Structure 1
Amino acid sequence: MTTDGPAGAQTVLAIVGGSGALGGGLALRAARAGIPVIIGSRTAEKAAEAAASVAAAVPGAAVQGVENVAAAKAGDMVLVAVPFASQAETLAAIAPHVAGKIVVDTTVPLVPPKVARVQLPPEGSAAACAAKALGPEARLVTAFHNVSAQKLRGEGPVGCDVLVFGDEPEARAAVIELADRMGLRGLHGGVLDNAAAAEAMTSVLIAVNKRYKVAEGAGLRITGIGGTSED
């Protein structure tokens, strides 16, 4: 991410739900990229444990762990990585503290036990649910729907594209830069309404993983665009 604030201080990334599988993978990637990270969790104890794990894997990383709301308050950019069942409660809790901030929601509406079946909510998408929960004050972007936690925990570039959705092009661009720094390739996916396609694709990829026994999780690559992370 670009530098921001006095003396070029780096943007601090808060990861709400950072003690989970996806959140933990994103925290590890961010730390390896030299991005200051605040890991949030339901309890400060779980967050501290997750932060200690990242610090052990990335010596010298600027990482700390706090409760979710405290993380949202402290972060310059807030990334939300929680299950769909927890999305509404989590976003309602952090909403008063993210006005004016870019909030990156990764939520996919998976409904157990049939997670390999597309089951979009009545609102049309998890992105629409997030927009309703956060209100217009937050700069909502959605991304990281189709990359597995296993791939994120590996070292080196990840051979996956990250489709980034949002109604504000500048906010999308900031998240694309974040994805690029993490060793993925971020791509503009268009307005927030388009996020439904990436959300649905997650269930398709889960079905592919099961059918073809893809241990690290299948991902997406968009052809015809130059400038991949491997170029």
Structure 2
Amino acid sequence: MHSSIRIKTIAVLGGTGREGRGLALRWARAGYHVILGGRDLARAETAAASLREKLDSIARISGALNLAAAEQADVIVLAVPFAAQLDTALHVRSALKGKILIDVTVPLVPPKVEVAQLPGGSAVERLQAVLGSDVAVVSAFQNVSAHHLADLDHAIDCDVLICADDERAAQTAVELAEAAGLQGWRCGPLKNSLVTEGLTSLLIAINRRYKVPSAGIRITGVPTGAH
């Protein structure tokens, strides 16, 4: 069993978007200091203030520019649209060395977002190749509904599929999944993210076909706590 790292501060880059806000809300409620990163400081601070209103007075959640957020964090979560993935990661690259980067990116290609299109293979694996071995990149949280993350009273009926080449980084993602009220499953190396990224389009297709907001994935047949 490999241990996770000790986490105090999480930066969510793209924290002003729906998925980023939802994850940040859950982690702040769990007691982490969460920094919403964005390209616009005022917008990031406004988003942080709106989340603080949903939590009790001891919750620590703030807004900052992406680079400043990454510099202050133990773990960085990249929750930006696919088109901004590489540019955002390279912009904060100096703050990533020796840290864990959890990438939530899904390579959706409008307008047919319900059709799996992975140009060049896994977007997360490509990011690891660009950033190099100084950064432990993890693929996770792509298939969790932002609609349900934002509702703190809702028990989310969805598992988190985690792919990583670094054992400690993968276990850290499991810990963060559990902190958000979810079950995280280790799904092998980063290369397997090719499958988990494509599942998002599949879930969108299910949502549209059956007129629901948040289809999810469950892993069965494995005892809870088998990590």
TM-score class, shorter-chain normalisation, is over 0.9
1:204 matched residue in structure 2: 202
Residues 10 and 35, structure 2, Cα contact 8 Å, conserved in 1:
yes
Q: Quick check: 1:58 aligned with 2:58? A: no
CA offsets per residue over residues 186-206 of structure 1, 9 Å max, x none?
000110000010100100000
The 5 A counterparts of 1:118-157 are: 118-122=116-120, 124-155=121-152, 156-157=154-155
Runs of 4+ in 1 over 3 A off after TM superposition: 1-4
Secondary structure of 1:190's counterpart equals coil
For 1:48-99, what per-residue CA distance to the aligned partner results, in whole angstroms no more than 9, with x for missing partners?
A: 0111011111122111100111111111100000000111110110112100
- The SS at the match of 1:57 is coil
Which digits, 9 at most, give the CA deviation of each residue in 1:149-173, with x for residues without a partner? 0011122431110011100111100
Ranked by relative contact order (alpha carbons within 8 Å, sequence separation 6 or more), the top structure is 2
Counterpart for residue 41 of structure 2:
44
Deviation at 1:223, TM superposition (A): 0.7
Instruction: Give the corresponding residue for 2:23.
Output: 26
1:16 alignment partner in structure 2: 13
Shift of 1:32: 1.3
* Comparing 134-143 and 98-107, the one that deviates more: 134-143
2:107 pairs with one of 106, 109, 116: 109
Provide Cα deviations, 1:168-222, integer angstroms capped at 9, x if missing partner.
111100110110111000000110000010100100000000000112x100001
Change (3 A) 1:24 1:135: same
Unaligned runs of 5+ in 2: none
**TM-score (normalised: structure 2):** 0.94
Once residues 209 and 170 of structure 1 are traced to their aligned partners in structure 2, the CA distance between those partners, rounded to angstroms, is 34
CA RMSD, aligned part only? 1.5
CA distance in 2, matches of 1:3, 1:59: 26
Give the counterpart letter for 1:167 in structure 2. Answer: D
Q: 1:158 aligns with which of 140, 156, 159?
A: 156
- Work out the CA distance in 2 between the residues paired with 1:79 and 1:162: 14
2:222 paired residue among 208, 225, 229:
225
3-state SS of the aligned residue for 2:147?
A: helix
Q: Distance in 2 between matches of 1:23 and 1:185?
A: 18
TM-score scaled by length of structure 1 = 0.92
